[in-house]
Amino acid sequence: MVDDDDDVKDISDKTSVLPSDTFKLRLAEAGQAPPAMVLLVGPASSVGRQWPIEDPDIVIGRSPNAKIFVDDRSVSKFHAKLVLSGGDVSLMDLESTNKTFVNGKLIPPLQPIKLQNNDQIKTGNIIFKFLERGSIETVASAQAFDRALTDALTEIANRGALEAKAPEFFKRASLLGFPLSLLIFDIDKFKLVNDTHGHPAGDYVLKEVAKVVKNKLIRGNDFFARAGGEEFCLLLAGSELKQAEEVAERIRATIEAQKFVFEGTHIPITISVGVAGYDPSDSNWTEIYERADKALYHSKNSGRNCVSVSS
């Protein structure tokens, strides 16, 4: 249980200071921004994450079925609900164990409370901030969060984003029985690319590999990230191991056939891939990662430019 009697202090600024050359653009974007919830206090990897409020009913909770899913034991599986009606957003506690507070005040269960801009909502140990429709802070906070979780070179998700997202995928797989597979691949002899053609050429290859996979080879509900260096990870939601192996082979063949030309020089590129799937005995997502990583090293030790599947 948490101490629900403590007042929630105002822990965020009420205004956003923007550079003058971007202010007009942000205003225009804000005009289209829906109301949103922003995580202020909670799991470190999710602080700053934003959820737009566009559906009539949005549940906040620890269940993977909750639209605003927070993996924290102080939050009930179905803790509270946001109700969007006529442009207004109300909050209703769903008889949660640790109650729901708005600006430090306990709200009664099953009674909708209309939210105002910058209201702070406490569910267990988790604190959110509500932003009304058209708030310029909605745009600013979303962009800041995206930048923190985006790899600057390839413009895909980074390692931090992977470590934030993978546990959510794992939770849904373990509790709801959804298939989940993981691909890990890296660029063969990447050090040789840098040594032979220079680091700008290596950067070009990394960007092009990411672009090809992102634009041509993955679905909208998959999650693609640069894990570091020349290593990439792809989480396949809803894919059994056999399907993941087929995806891995398609990616491998596509990269091998792709023409990588930097400053007029053709650079042959291949990748090695390791594949693993969720097993009911897994206790966390890192066990899947470790199996896929071992399969990757099997590919590398088998001559590279191939796909290996974890047994």
**How crowded is the C-beta side of 179, counted as CA atoms within 13 Å?**
11
- Asked if residue 153 lies in contact with residue 105, where contact means CB atoms within 8 angstroms, the answer is no
Q: What distances in angstroms separate CA 12 from CA 7, 106, 267, one per listed residue?
A: 15, 20, 49
State mean pLDDT over 98-119: 96
pLDDT above 90 (res 26) = no
Looking at residue 143, what is its pLDDT?
Answer: 61
- What's the rounded Cα separation, in Å, for the pair 41 and 122? 9
Q: Is 60 exceeded by the pLDDT of residue 4?
A: no
Please tell me the predicted confidence (pLDDT) of residue 137. 55
- Give 77 or 16, the one with higher predicted confidence: 77
Q: Is 196 within 8 Å of 260 (Cβ atoms)?
A: no
- Pick the more confident residue, 123 or 44: 123
Is residue 209 within 8 Å of residue 269, measured between CB atoms? Answer: yes
Q: How far is residue 276's CA from residue 294's CA, in Å, rounded to a whole number?
A: 9
What DSSP assignment string belongs to 111-161? --EE--TT-EEEETTEEEEEE-TT-HHHHHHHHHHHHHTB-TTT-SB-HHH
How would residue 12 be classed by pLDDT, with cut points 50, 70 and 90? Answer: very low
Instruction: For residues 120-144, give the mean pLDDT.
Output: 78
pLDDT at 55: 93
Closest CA to 266 of 208, 211, 210, 226: 208
Q: What pLDDT is attached to residue 218?
A: 87
Question: Do residues 86 and 109 make contact, with C-beta atoms less than 8 angstroms apart?
Answer: no
**pLDDT tens, 40-91?**
898 877 888 889 999 999 999 999 889 999 989 999 999 999 999 988 999 9
Question: Which residues are catalytic, by number?
Answer: 230
How does residue 164 score in pLDDT terms, banded at 50, 70 and 90?
Answer: confident
Give CA–CA dist 111/81, Å, rounded. Answer: 10
What does the mean pLDDT of the chain come to?
Answer: 87
Band of residue 198 on the pLDDT scale cut at 50, 70, 90: very high
Q: pLDDT class for 19, splitting at 50, 70, 90?
A: very low
Q: Rounded mean pLDDT of 203-225?
A: 93
